[in-house]
Amino acid sequence: MTTIRQEDFIQSVADAFQFISYYHPADYIRDLWAAYQREESPAARDAMAQILVNSRMSAEGHRPICQDTGISIAFIKVGMDVRWDTKMSLAELVNEGVRRAYTDKDNPLRASMLADPDGKRVSTGDNTPAVTHVELVPGDKVEVIVAAKGGGSENKSKFAMLLPSDSIVDWVLNIVPTMGADWCPPGMLSLGIGGSPEKAMLMAKWGMMEPLDIYELKARGPSNRAEELRLELFEKVNALGIGAQGLGGLSTVLDVKVNDYPTHAASKPVALLPNCAATRHAHFVLDGSGPASLDPPSLADWPRLELDLSTSRRVDLDRLTKADIASWKAGERLLLSGKLLTGRDAAHKRMVDMMSRGEQLPVDLTNRFIYYTGPVDAVRDEVVGPAGPTTSSRMDKFVEPVLSRTGLIGMVGKSERGPMAVESIKKHGAVYCIAVGGAAYLVSKSIRASRVLAFEDLGMEAIREFEVRDMPVIVAVDSTGDAVHKTGPAQWRARIGKIPVAVV
Ligand code: SF4
């Protein structure tokens, strides 16, 4: 009989969440590097280069890969011959580990969890509670998988009850283009097929933790329906041409996972979950001999890459007018320097509420750019912690009121804008740029100073003013309304030529 001590379990969980905040799994880096070398789309290649460079910097600096350090998830298999030296429940033990990891002094992680999700939505302060799944299995060990899933990719989770005769391939190929780039590709898709609705979802989540092995599968050939589906979907999803960050290109997914389970004769439940560029999971086993120790990957696993910024246009944010930005074209690469405001969901809502009450805003937005971000807290000599872009479409409904009433001329975020937002950008001669989702530590190195200007009570959502130097962004919607997330994937889908391009 093995005895697991409370402190060993808690410390192992805490160490694992710290570990995954700055180490990508080595298989993700290996396959992303291979995809980078194959990629022919310059924009997608550039985005992948930023993700790779960011990943290495995070591994070296022990700071988060992405500012969204995720919802904490744990899958635990408990051997039936295990005894516990604790009075706490397993969920409480995991929560204590999460609390310790997210409030670590040397590498604090962002607390993204909010209580009262349809009410006050108040931060729990330490990213607890985790979502813990437990299974009792034969044996005398405890196997733990922890994962941190960002909101951008979790929000794109899909579930359907298909008819038994429906095609899962058709369903996936219809649904993936509607997910846009909010889930920060290139990543992975994981499907759970069969069982009941909740079983399908859990299988899909579980599949994300499996090693990337699509090329091994290709080489040895499929041995069952799930493996056939993996290969077919891998080829067809990549043929959609969505590409890294939705910019159009050859690699949208680095692997597709399929797990299945028997189901009811009348049903075909299917769950689809994306895993983003910030793929984060770790596995460990406790056998009663003490806390788990996770082997850090070797830095030799990361390619030595330099970013090529030679073709980017340098922009002085402090002297910009609408006339200047009118010449920018969708797809163009820029290096931003100067003063950049920040604000995201809560700040936008508050600004729009103030304007509708006739109140003056605390910050003059005339001829300014705003960056949608919620940074991680700074440590040591950092100006700001990792500060990548958040999903811009959540701010779409604020674009018209803000552009029409404040003089703001530009926005920076990640992934595509909806039609209403694009229309407003065109109407007001503004622009929308993207920074690379999953390159948060790299972006933070462009930020030379930071101060809170307003709404300090909103914490990471406060309005800040960053002083940036050569911050790399891409024009995603130009002042004529041309949108790279529309044109890029359409061009690459046609170029790959395996799936007919829908005429719209
Ligand atoms: S890479 Fe993108 S989807 Fe993933 S956690 Fe970061 S911002 Fe969210």
DSSP calls for 7-62: HHHHHHHHHHHHHHHH---HHHHHHHHHHHHH---HHHHHHHHHHHHHHHHHHHHT
CB atoms within 10 A of CB 285: 12
Vertex 399: Cα angle to 156 and 343 (nearest 5): 75
CB 368 within 8 A of CB 319: no
pLDDT (0 to 100) of residue 460: 86
Q: How far is the CA of 31 from the centre of ligand 1 (A)?
A: 18
- Written as one letter, the residue type at 35 is A
Specify the pTM.
Answer: 0.94
Beta partners for residue 269, in sequence order: 161
Q: Which residues contact 247 (CB under 8 A, 6 or more apart)?
A: 41, 43, 44, 47, 181, 331, 474, 484, 485, 488, 489
Question: What is the residue whose two structure tokens read 């192992």?
Answer: 12
Q: How far is the CA of 448 from the centre of ligand 1 (A)?
A: 23
CB 357 within 8 A of CB 382: no
pLDDT (0 to 100) of residue 50: 95
pLDDT (0 to 100) of residue 500: 56
| Ligand 1 pocket check for 273: Cβ under 6 Å | no
CB atoms within 10 A of CB 328: 18
Residue nearest to atom 7 of ligand 1 (CA): 437
Q: CA-CA-CA-CA torsion for 362, 368, 373, 375, nearest 10 degrees? A: -70
* Ligand 1 atom, smallest distance to 391 CA: 7
| Ligand 1 pocket check for 41: Cβ under 6 Å | no
* Ligand 1 atom, smallest distance to 438 CA: 1
Give pLDDT < 50 ranges for the chain: 501-504
CB 472 within 8 A of CB 334: yes
CB 45 within 8 A of CB 131: no
Q: How far is the CA of 152 from the centre of ligand 1 (A)?
A: 5
CB 305 within 8 A of CB 50: no
| Ligand 1 pocket check for 152: Cβ under 6 Å | yes
Residue 428 is among the residues annotated as catalytic for this protein: no
SS3 355: helix
> How far is the C-alpha of 305 from the C-alpha of 33, rounded, in Å?
10
> How far is the C-alpha of 90 from the C-alpha of 133, rounded, in Å?
9
> How far is the C-alpha of 235 from the C-alpha of 503, rounded, in Å?
22
Question: What is the residue whose two structure tokens read 């699509």?
Answer: 214
| Ligand 1 pocket check for 277: Cβ under 6 Å | yes
* Ligand 1 atom, smallest distance to 68 CA: 5
Q: Which residues contact 118 (CB under 8 A, 6 or more apart)?
A: none
How far CA 375 is from CA of 73, 248, 382, 389, 464, in Å, comes to 21, 28, 12, 9, 10
| Ligand 1 pocket check for 437: Cβ under 6 Å | yes
Query: Catalytic: which of 24, 133, 264, 348?
Result: 348
How far CA 38 is from CA of 32, 44, 45, 493, in Å, comes to 10, 11, 9, 16
* Ligand 1 atom, smallest distance to 276 CA: 4
CB 171 within 8 A of CB 32: no
DSSP secondary structure letter of residue 276: -
Q: How far is the CA of 327 from the centre of ligand 1 (A)?
A: 30
Q: How far is the CA of 391 from the centre of ligand 1 (A)?
A: 9
pLDDT (0 to 100) of residue 502: 46
Neighbour-count burial for 387-402, b at 16+ CB within 10 Å, e otherwise:
bbbbbbbbbbebbbeb
Q: How far is the CA of 415 from the centre of ligand 1 (A)?
A: 11
> How far is the C-alpha of 423 from the C-alpha of 144, rounded, in Å?
48
| Ligand 1 pocket check for 276: Cβ under 6 Å | yes
| Ligand 1 pocket check for 186: Cβ under 6 Å | no
Q: In testing the pocket of ligand 1, which one of 179, 276, 394 has its CB within 8 Å of the most ligand atoms?
A: 276
Q: How far is the CA of 149 from the centre of ligand 1 (A)?
A: 8
List of E strands, 352-418: 369-371, 410-413
Question: What is the residue whose two structure tokens read 């009811």?
Answer: 264
Compute φ and ψ for 345, nearest 5 degrees: -50, -60
Q: In testing the pocket of ligand 1, which one of 184, 273, 373, 414 has its CB within 8 Å of the most ligand atoms?
A: 184
| Ligand 1 pocket check for 148: Cβ under 6 Å | no
| Ligand 1 pocket check for 109: Cβ under 6 Å | no
Nearest in space to 368 (alpha carbons), one of 329, 339, 327, 388: 339
> How far is the C-alpha of 389 from the C-alpha of 159, rounded, in Å?
27
pLDDT (0 to 100) of residue 13: 98
Q: How far is the CA of 276 from the centre of ligand 1 (A)?
A: 6
How far CA 220 is from CA of 57, 227, 232, 407, in Å, comes to 35, 11, 15, 59
Nearest in space to 410 (alpha carbons), one of 357, 485, 334, 356: 334
Identify how many contiguous H helices and E strands the chain contains and give both numbers: 15, 19
Residue nearest to atom 5 of ligand 1 (CA): 150
* Ligand 1 atom, smallest distance to 69 CA: 5
pLDDT (0 to 100) of residue 301: 92
> How far is the C-alpha of 429 from the C-alpha of 444, rounded, in Å?
28
* Ligand 1 atom, smallest distance to 152 CA: 3
Token pair recorded at residue 277: 């560029």
| Ligand 1 pocket check for 389: Cβ under 6 Å | no
Residue nearest to atom 3 of ligand 1 (CA): 152
pLDDT in tens, 34-56: 999 999 999 999 999 999 999 99
Q: How far is the CA of 20 from the centre of ligand 1 (A)?
A: 14
* Ligand 1 atom, smallest distance to 150 CA: 5
